[in-house]
Amino acid sequence: MAELLRARGITRVVVDRSLPMSFAHELGLIGIELSYDAEMGVAERRAKSPAELDALRTAQADTEAAMEMACRLVAGAKAAADGSLRAGDETLTSERVRHAIDTFLLERNYSNPASIVACGP
């Protein structure tokens, strides 16, 4: 990016809070002046179109449904003599609950990277 700006003769850029420090450093090394605008893009991020609002509502509802499914999975499990939870013939582990959540969301075209499901003491 720095080389492209230099090749185009750009000597000054205005940046928002999302510019990585490594980029800012590289731009400074080749003499490009940076100025920071804390409000840049804020209004655009806050304003949502009707389609975006519908997508957010749908995503929220689907997320809530995933959590309800996970809670029902745990609530329906039976306590074994060793203190573990059993769902059907299998031990209900945090990994199994996470897999159920991931599957639920993937079936609805969502990704769910690195979600956390943890058991108690």
* pLDDT score for 107: 97
The answer to whether the Cα torsion of 71, 75, 78, 79 is positive or negative is positive
pLDDT at 121: 67
> In terms of Cα–Cα distance, which of 116, 115, 108, 118 is closest to 60?
108
Beta strands in 16-64 (DSSP E): 33-36
Q: Is the pLDDT of residue 120 over 80?
A: no
pTM (2 decimals)? 0.66
Q: Please, are residues 73 and 100 in contact by the beta-carbon 8 Å criterion?
A: yes
Q: Is 102 exposed, middle or buried (0-12, 13-18, 19+ CB in 10 A)?
A: middle
